[in-house]
C-alpha cells in the first residue's frame, strides 16, 4: 500500500472506495462522500497537496482530504471525508492517511485542523472543540463531535466561534454534508 497525492485519474476508483466506506440505505444521491470527492475539485477550498489516496496497485482503497476552513477570523483546515474500502479497514490505512495529511499540513504552516467525528481521532491528538467555544451548527449533537488539533504547540488557543467549511461541504439549502 502506498500513499499518493490525489490526481484526476484516481477519481473513479476514489468514488468506489468512498462508496464502499460510506454507503447506507438512506444515502443522499447527490450530497454524499463519494460525490464530494468530485465536487471538491472545483471548490475554492480544494488544496491539491492535502488530498491523498491509499493505493493498492492501481486501485484506490482509501481517501482523505484537508480543505480550507475558518473559525471566526482564523484560517485553518477541516479534515474529511476520510474513508477506507470495507475490505481494507482495520489494517492501518486510515491511520496512514491521517498522519500523512497532518504532516503535510504542518509543513505548509497551517496551525489547526478541525473535524466532525468520533473517538477514532483522539489517537492523533484531536481534542473536543467545546472547551474552546467552537461550534459548527445549531445542533448540539454536531457540536459535541467537533474536534480540533493544534499543529503548532505555541499556536494560540484563543480560537473560538463557528467552524465554517468550504462551499463543497454544504448542500443547496446550506446544510452540512
Ligand X SMILES: CC(C)(COP(=O)(O)OP(=O)(O)OC[C@H]1O[C@@H](n2cnc3c(N)ncnc32)[C@H](O)[C@@H]1OP(=O)(O)O)[C@@H](O)C(=O)NCCC(=O)NCCS
Task: Assess 93 for contact with ligand X (CB under 6 A).
Answer: yes
Task: Assess 58 for contact with ligand X (CB under 6 A).
Answer: no
Question: Cα dihedral angle (30, 141, 126, 81), rounded to 10 degrees?
Answer: -10
Site string for ligand X, 99-128 (x = CB under 6 A): ------------------xxxx--------
Stretches 34-42, 86-94, 99-107, 167-175: which one binds ligand X (CB under 6 A)? 86-94
Question: Which of 41/91 has CB closer to ligand X?
Answer: 91
Buried b (16+ CB within 10 A) or exposed e, 43-65: bebbbeebbbbbbeeeebbbbbb
- Among 5, 12, 95, 175, which residue sits at the site for ligand X (rule: CB under 6 A)? 95
Task: Assess 83 for contact with ligand X (CB under 6 A).
Answer: yes
Residue 154 CA to residue 142 CA, distance in Å, equals: 28
Of residues 117-176, those binding ligand X (CB under 6 A): 117-120
Considering the complex, what minimum distance in angstroms separates the CB of residue 104 from ligand X? 17
Considering the complex, what minimum distance in angstroms separates the CB of residue 109 from ligand X? 25
Chain-centre distance for alpha carbon 35: 14
- Among 89, 128, 160, 161, which residue sits at the site for ligand X (rule: CB under 6 A)? 89
Residue 176 CA to residue 20 CA, distance in Å, equals: 21
Residue 146 CA to residue 81 CA, distance in Å, equals: 14
Report how far apart, in Å, the C-alpha atoms of 2 and of each of 47, 66, 145 are: 20, 18, 30
By the criterion CB under 6 A, which residues form the site for ligand X?
21-22, 82-84, 89-95, 117-120
Amino acid at each position: 500500500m502506498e500513499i499518493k497525492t490525489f490526481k484526476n485519474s484516481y477519481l473513479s476508483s476514489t468514488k468506489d472506495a468512498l462508496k464502499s466506506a460510506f454507503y447506507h440505505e438512506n444515502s443522499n444521491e447527490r450530497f454524499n462522500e463519494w460525490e464530494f470527492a468530485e465536487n471538491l475539485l472545483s471548490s475554492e477550498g480544494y488544496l491539491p497537496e492535502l488530498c491523498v489516496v491509499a493505493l493498492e496497485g492501481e486501485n484506490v482503497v482509501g481517501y482523505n482530504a484537508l480543505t480550507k476552513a475558518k473559525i471566526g477570523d482564523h484560517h485553518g483546515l477541516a479534515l474529511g471525508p476520510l474513508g477506507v474500502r470495507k475490505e481494507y479497514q482495520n489494517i492501518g490505512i486510515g491511520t496512514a492517511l491521517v498522519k500523512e495529511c497532518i504532516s503535510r499540513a504542518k509543513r505548509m504552516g497551517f496551525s489547526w485542523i478541525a473535524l466532525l467525528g468520533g473517538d477514532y481521532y483522539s489517537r492523533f491528538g484531536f481534542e473536543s472543540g467545546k472547551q474552546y467555544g467552537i461550534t459548527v451548527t445549531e445542533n448540539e449533537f454536531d457540536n459535541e463531535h467537533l474536534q480540533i488539533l493544534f499543529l503548532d504547540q505555541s499556536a494560540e488557543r484563543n480560537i473560538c466561534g463557528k467552524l465554517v467549511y468550504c462551499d463543497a461541504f454544504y448542500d443547496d439549502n446550506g446544510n452540512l454534508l
